[in-house]
Amino acid sequence: MSLKTSKLFLNKKILENENILFIQDLDGVCIPLVKDPMTRKLNKDYILAAKLFKNEFCVLTCGEHEGERGVNRIIERSLNSTIDPKKKGLYLQGLAACGVEFQDNKGNISFEGISEKELDFLSQVPLLIKPRFENIIKRLFPYMEQKTIDYHASISICKTKFSPTINFNSLFEIVGNNWEKRVIVQKELHNMMNEIINICEYENLSNSFFLHISPNLGKINEKEIIKYSTQNDIGTTDIQFLLKGAVKDSGVLVLLNNFIGKKTGTKPFGQNFNFRDSPKNLKDKVAFCKKYIQKKDMPLIIGIGDTITSQKNSEEKIYSRGGSDRSFLELIQALGKEYNNKNLIIFVDSSSGEVFRPSTKKTGLEGITDKEDYLKLDFIFQNGPKEYIKWFMEIANQRYLIKNKN
């Protein structure tokens, strides 16, 4: 696949289309990747530009909106106010926690399809991780002081409401360039998360949760495959404990349901449709849309993400393809084909951040996609979030002017 670098066709398609919907990932797209998620930053002008799109823009992220680690706190810091975002509707509307946590631009949160028992167990997960994480550190780094262990625990264990997470980056810092040691860290923490998943079975919650591995190498038997570090690629940097059904492609259906509902007054999949009602595979999702959404109501969808992977297995000569943005971008592409409106798939190269990712400037599309990949990228922002944000602000302004001419 050749790299496409002209924004002209992109702008033309977006500006000439009456009915559009942006569905955009956050981290690595409009927020540069950082090792410590608590230091994430969001450009104020980007937030204001997103507002110009009104209902034509929504986010789809595996992070969360609310809580101390939530993107809402980043917005408040960026605007230097805890009142303005609510009053002026400047929170980023859309789905967080991989399709579970919905919010409008005033920060009103809703989440449906989750039981009290599941929420309860999720709140226990960080407490289950803590002693196991400490044991692993003591084994791998026997001379580490308790104070330092506590520090690593505090930044590695993310106590989020719907998606408690273990992040590997702070332990990767300790082992530096030693990729073999990074693999040991990945194996240990992956085993630990599997152990916690097994605990669910005793609580009669065996069908409730799964591990979301970022980035991953696709799935085998419904389980995501960890991507081990190599000399040139850091591989998996975090594992999230998620509700089953919480996948970004199901989130696309929830967002479409809301978008069309607002536009036409009727939600095509029903008033209370949530991520757990979604068909499971791509083919069924497309058929589901086809059944309930008429062509005239289907928008041109612009899908934007930064995490897709492709790795050639040299023995079997086949590719393992994964990445947390792959499923939702594939669905958007498939819907574009089905409805013949050629949805746009945009890739942002996030390798300029603090987290190591393959760079399209250095190694082309290696590690990201391949010739045989059915996911085709319509445009690549090679200069990362900075270039994307600049374009996003321009296109938001141009569209706003066209829409508000009279």
Binding site for Mg ion (CB under 5 A): 25, 27-28, 306-307
Residue placing its CB nearer to Mg ion in the complex, 224 or 306: 306
- CB of 118 closer than 8 Å to CB of 243: yes
Q: CA 36: distance to chain centroid?
A: 17
Residue placing its CB nearer to Mg ion in the complex, 186 or 307: 307
Residue placing its CB nearer to Mg ion in the complex, 72 or 324: 324
Residue placing its CB nearer to Mg ion in the complex, 27 or 249: 27
Could you please report the per-residue DSSP string of 181-202?
Answer: HHHHHHHHHHHHHHHHHHHHHH
Single-letter residue type at 181: K
Q: How far is the CB of 348 from Mg ion (least distance, A)?
A: 8
The torsion angles phi and psi of 207, rounded to 5 degrees, stand at: -105, 10
Q: How far is the CB of 306 from Mg ion (least distance, A)?
A: 4
Residue 107 pairs in a beta bridge with none
Residue placing its CB nearer to Mg ion in the complex, 92 or 293: 92
- Cβ atoms < 10 Å from Cβ of 394: 13
Residue placing its CB nearer to Mg ion in the complex, 32 or 113: 32
**Nearest-5° Cα angle at 195, 189 to 196:** 95
Q: 3-class SS at 209?
A: strand
Q: 3-class SS at 242?
A: strand
Q: How far is the CB of 208 from Mg ion (least distance, A)?
A: 25
Residue placing its CB nearer to Mg ion in the complex, 63 or 107: 63
Q: How far is the CB of 109 from Mg ion (least distance, A)?
A: 21
Residue placing its CB nearer to Mg ion in the complex, 307 or 343: 307
Residue placing its CB nearer to Mg ion in the complex, 27 or 56: 27
Residue 211 pairs in a beta bridge with 241
Give burial (CB, 10 Å; 0-12/13-18/19+) of 65. Answer: buried
Q: How far is the CB of 342 from Mg ion (least distance, A)?
A: 24
- CB of 323 closer than 8 Å to CB of 308: yes
Q: How far is the CB of 295 from Mg ion (least distance, A)?
A: 31
Q: How far is the CB of 29 from Mg ion (least distance, A)?
A: 6
Residue placing its CB nearer to Mg ion in the complex, 25 or 188: 25
- CB of 62 closer than 8 Å to CB of 160: no
Q: How far is the CB of 27 from Mg ion (least distance, A)?
A: 4
At 290, list the tokens.
């086809």
At 313, list the tokens.
């297995």
Single-letter residue type at 24: Q
Q: Which of 167, 169, 170 is nearest to 149 (CA)?
A: 170
Residue least distant from Mg ion (Cβ): 28
Q: How far is the CB of 32 from Mg ion (least distance, A)?
A: 11
Q: How far is the CB of 254 from Mg ion (least distance, A)?
A: 19
Long-range Cβ contacts of 185-192 (<8 Å, 24+ apart):
185/140, 186/226, 186/228, 186/229, 186/235, 186/236, 187/228, 188/136, 188/139, 188/140, 189/133, 189/136, 189/239, 190/226, 190/236, 190/239, 192/129, 192/132, 192/133, 192/136, 192/166
